[in-house]
Amino acid sequence: MIRALLAAVAISAVGVNIAPVAVAAPYKNCTEARKNGDTNIPSSSDKYGEHLDRDGDGFGCES
Protein backbone atom coordinates (compact mmCIF):
# COMPACT_ATOMS: atom_id res chain seq x y z
CA MET A 1 0.00 0.00 0.00
CA ILE A 2 2.83 2.38 0.80
CA ARG A 3 4.45 1.56 -2.56
CA ALA A 4 1.23 2.40 -4.36
CA LEU A 5 1.01 5.71 -2.52
CA LEU A 6 4.62 6.54 -3.33
CA ALA A 7 4.06 5.64 -6.99
CA ALA A 8 1.00 7.92 -7.13
CA VAL A 9 2.97 10.78 -5.60
CA ALA A 10 5.86 10.24 -8.03
CA ILE A 11 3.51 10.24 -11.02
CA SER A 12 1.74 13.39 -9.88
CA ALA A 13 5.08 15.13 -9.35
CA VAL A 14 5.98 14.57 -13.00
CA GLY A 15 2.95 16.55 -14.14
CA VAL A 16 1.16 16.55 -17.43
CA ASN A 17 1.77 19.07 -20.18
CA ILE A 18 -1.49 20.19 -21.68
CA ALA A 19 -1.44 22.16 -24.90
CA PRO A 20 -3.13 25.55 -24.61
CA VAL A 21 -6.54 25.77 -26.13
CA ALA A 22 -6.91 28.33 -28.87
CA VAL A 23 -9.45 30.91 -27.90
CA ALA A 24 -11.76 31.86 -30.70
CA ALA A 25 -12.21 35.58 -31.01
CA PRO A 26 -13.33 37.97 -33.70
CA TYR A 27 -10.71 38.95 -36.24
CA LYS A 28 -9.22 42.42 -35.83
CA ASN A 29 -10.02 43.21 -39.45
CA CYS A 30 -10.90 41.58 -42.77
CA THR A 31 -7.29 41.58 -43.94
CA GLU A 32 -6.46 39.25 -41.06
CA ALA A 33 -9.51 37.10 -41.83
CA ARG A 34 -8.63 36.78 -45.52
CA LYS A 35 -5.03 35.83 -44.68
CA ASN A 36 -6.55 32.85 -42.83
CA GLY A 37 -8.86 32.04 -45.73
CA ASP A 38 -12.01 33.27 -43.99
CA THR A 39 -14.64 35.28 -45.84
CA ASN A 40 -18.41 35.51 -45.46
CA ILE A 41 -18.11 34.90 -41.72
CA PRO A 42 -21.61 34.32 -40.27
CA SER A 43 -22.68 36.12 -37.11
CA SER A 44 -22.99 32.71 -35.42
CA SER A 45 -19.21 32.23 -35.71
CA ASP A 46 -16.81 33.06 -32.87
CA LYS A 47 -14.66 34.78 -35.52
CA TYR A 48 -17.43 37.25 -36.39
CA GLY A 49 -17.46 40.79 -35.08
CA GLU A 50 -19.86 43.61 -35.89
CA HIS A 51 -16.89 45.69 -37.01
CA LEU A 52 -16.35 43.16 -39.83
CA ASP A 53 -19.90 43.49 -41.14
CA ARG A 54 -20.11 46.77 -43.06
CA ASP A 55 -23.64 46.32 -44.39
CA GLY A 56 -25.09 44.75 -41.23
CA ASP A 57 -26.45 41.64 -42.94
CA GLY A 58 -24.93 39.17 -40.45
CA PHE A 59 -21.91 38.22 -42.58
CA GLY A 60 -18.47 39.68 -42.02
CA CYS A 61 -15.70 40.11 -44.57
CA GLU A 62 -17.90 39.31 -47.52
CA SER A 63 -16.14 38.33 -50.72
Q: For the chain, 63 residues long, give each residue's pLDDT as a single digit of tens.
A: 677 655 555 555 555 555 554 557 999 999 999 999 999 999 999 999 999 999 999 999 999
pLDDT value for 12? 53
pLDDT value for 60? 98
Radius of gyration, CA atoms only, the chain: 22
Q: Where are the beta strands (DSSP E) in 1-63?
A: 41-42, 59-60
pLDDT value for 49? 97
Q: Is the pTM of this model over 0.85?
A: no
9-43 b/e (C-beta count within 10 Å ≥ 16 → b): eeeeeeeeeeeeeeeeebbeebeebeeeebeebee
Our CA angle for 38, 42, 49, nearest 5°, is 80
- Can you give the residue ranges of every domain in the chain? 23-63
Q: Is the distance from CB of 41 to CB of 33 less than 8 angstroms?
A: yes
